[in-house]
Amino acid sequence: MSEQLLPGYYIRCGSTLERSLLVKFMQRTYQHLFPEQDFAHLARTVEQYFSRDTPLWWVDFSKEDGEEITNSPAPIACLWVGNAIDQVQGDRHAHIFLLYVEPEHRRRGVGTALMRYIENWATQRGDRQLGLQVFQSNQPALNLYNQLGYQTQSLWMVKSLNTNKEETGV
């Protein structure tokens, strides 16, 4: 069952049987940001975290050309959501694992519509906030989230650790 998200765009619930498609969408997301990297390991992430408790939605595209309706052969966008615990308040809330829109469908309102959709979904289930992680280098995503009122609550910091003794001088 699907419902119209925007004219021509329809959102539908995904299934736990769609693991391989979810992996492909995750890999596309990261490959756009890090084109030289291999993301085969993301299959393990999906295997570990994707379940009935972490809902998945797909967006399909249908284009009307006069009398003819053309459907996209595959989804053009994806939204995967899990659960998190606010470490300050202790409340459970929705956390976006993945939001991806195919490049040829970007800047048409699909990302904004998906964010509004998940905000309504989270509100209806009683969540008081919605969390997500975004790469600092992903300026289009940062712009979208800032325009929708999201604010930085914390920073995730990482440090590469060299285990090669020659590089560390040990």
Q: Report the alpha-carbon distance of residue 148 to residue 142 in Å, rounded.
A: 10
- Which pLDDT band holds residue 64 (cuts at 50, 70, 90)? low
In tens, the pLDDT along 15-40 reads 999 999 999 999 999 999 999 999 99
- Which pLDDT band holds residue 98 (cuts at 50, 70, 90)? very high
Q: Report the alpha-carbon distance of residue 142 to residue 140 in Å, rounded.
A: 5
Over residues 82-103, mean pLDDT: 93
Q: Report the alpha-carbon distance of residue 16 to residue 6 in Å, rounded.
A: 25
Q: Report the alpha-carbon distance of residue 127 to residue 85 in Å, rounded.
A: 11
CATH code for position 47? 3.40.630.30
State pTM to two decimals. Answer: 0.85
Domain count, the chain: 1
Token pair for 19: 């693991």
Instruction: Provide the residue range defining the domain that includes 77.
Output: 2-168
**What is the pLDDT at residue 63?**
79
Q: Using CA atoms in the order 83, 59, 138, 104, what is the torsion angle rounded to 10 degrees?
A: 170
Mean per-residue pLDDT over the chain, rounded: 90
